[in-house]
Structure 1
């Protein structure tokens, strides 16, 4: 029997919340009601006994445990010495999506929630065989999540109205040409209905 968990990718205050450095990504989330759709999805998942795991990113002030020079995007982000520091408000999950019964899987390097974290072991300990992905972004995080989950043997569903990326025409292309090869695509309403 299939056991599902919802993975919420980087819906953090410093990414898409009040402390963001990515206003264009926030605007894309706003245009597509990503936070509201994700909140509705998570509420129904919790009510149905489906685990919710927030896949978050942060850096230590000394950058220990993070590859800081191997990726142009990371090099650019870390020009700000205070970017997404562990223990700061920026690293917190946005309040609309957090519940005390949720789990968190934190990473300190890279763009995928699986490599170098305990996420796979956590999912296996819960008996999970399929994951539902929401969050940001369709540029890097969501494709990375989907690809690694498939490689590890999970069935993947990406919630098309609970993800975003920029520019938006590129995000739509990723959903159509990359995600469709890796995962089932569904709306939040589709999943809410199936979990009731």
Structure 2
């Protein structure tokens, strides 16, 4: 599928996996089958030669390169000095979503995958004009991804059953009232069928 790439946002062991500090987000992912739906989506993407880019987050132990005091959420996270440290298992992509041919775009600050990373250049070098968003969360990362992508000129599709946020009613409202203004919304099954 020419011109399309899948961006998988923060599906990391320390975010929604076995090393999480966000049990409510993990529970929301489980209720909506986010991990299995994302895995199915990624298998179909790879089979259709659609690039998969894991947009991941990490911190250096010394926090160099990270704004750590400009956001209450980050300030609270970093009370744990070991949270999401570069080189630790917590920053790894969930094993069931990884493939050796996938790309990764790592960031050390902020909540969205484009600012301060090479993601835009990577996508342009691949000829991408449409990004398909999956992952977490509907609270910050997915809206940030969609807004930045639109501002950079990309078309955006959000996979509604491969994203999650908390609380549930807020996540549904973001999908409807924010992402509905920025992106096309589809299910994983819909894309799998389109790519097969």
> Smaller-chain TM-score range?
over 0.9
Q: Distance in 1 between matches of 2:47 and 2:87?
A: 29
Q: Secondary structure at the match of 2:6?
A: strand
Instruction: State the SS of the aligned residue for 2:28.
Output: helix
| 8 Å Cα contact 1:2/1:130 also seen in 2 | no
Cα deviation 1:106-134 (Å, max 9, x = unaligned):
00000000000000000000000000000
Name the CA distance, whole Å, in 2 between partners of 1:13 and 1:2.
Answer: 31
Structure 2: gaps of 5 or more residues: none
CA contact (8 A) 1:113 1:145 kept: yes
Who is 2:51 aligned against? 51
Contact 2:2 2:50 in 1 (8 A): no
Alignment partner, residue 160 of structure 1: 160
- 2:4 aligned partner: 4
Mapped to 1, the partners of 2:139 and 2:23 lie a distance apart of 15
What residue is the counterpart of 2:145 in the other structure? 145
For 1:3 and 1:68, the matched residues in 2 are separated by: 36
Distance between the aligned counterparts of 2:57 and 2:72, measured in 1?
A: 17
Q: Matches of 1:18 and 1:122 in 2, distance apart?
A: 30
DSSP-derived class of the 1:163 partner: strand
- Determine if contact 2:42/2:52 at 8 Å carries over to the other structure: yes
1:191 match = 191
The separation in 2 between residues aligned to 1:2 and 1:84, in whole angstroms, is 34
Structure 1 residue 92, shift from structure 2 partner? 0.2
* Alignment-derived partner of residue 15 in structure 1: 15
Q: Is the 8 A contact 2:107 2:117 kept in 1?
A: yes
- Superposition RMSD in Å: 0.8
Q: CA 1:155–1:2 in 2, change beyond 3 Å: closer, same or farther?
A: farther
Q: TM-score, normalised by structure 2?
A: 0.99
SS in 2 for 1:159: strand
TM-score, normalised to structure 1, is 0.99
Q: In 2, distance between residues paired with 1:100 and 1:166?
A: 31
Q: Distance in 1 between matches of 2:134 and 2:154?
A: 15
Separation in structure 1 between the aligned mates of residue 38 and residue 2 of structure 2, nearest angstrom: 22
Where 2:178 maps in the other structure, the secondary structure is helix
Partners of 2:168 and 2:102 lie apart in 1 by: 30
Shift of 1:89: 0.1
* Structure 1 equivalent of residue 78 of structure 2: 78
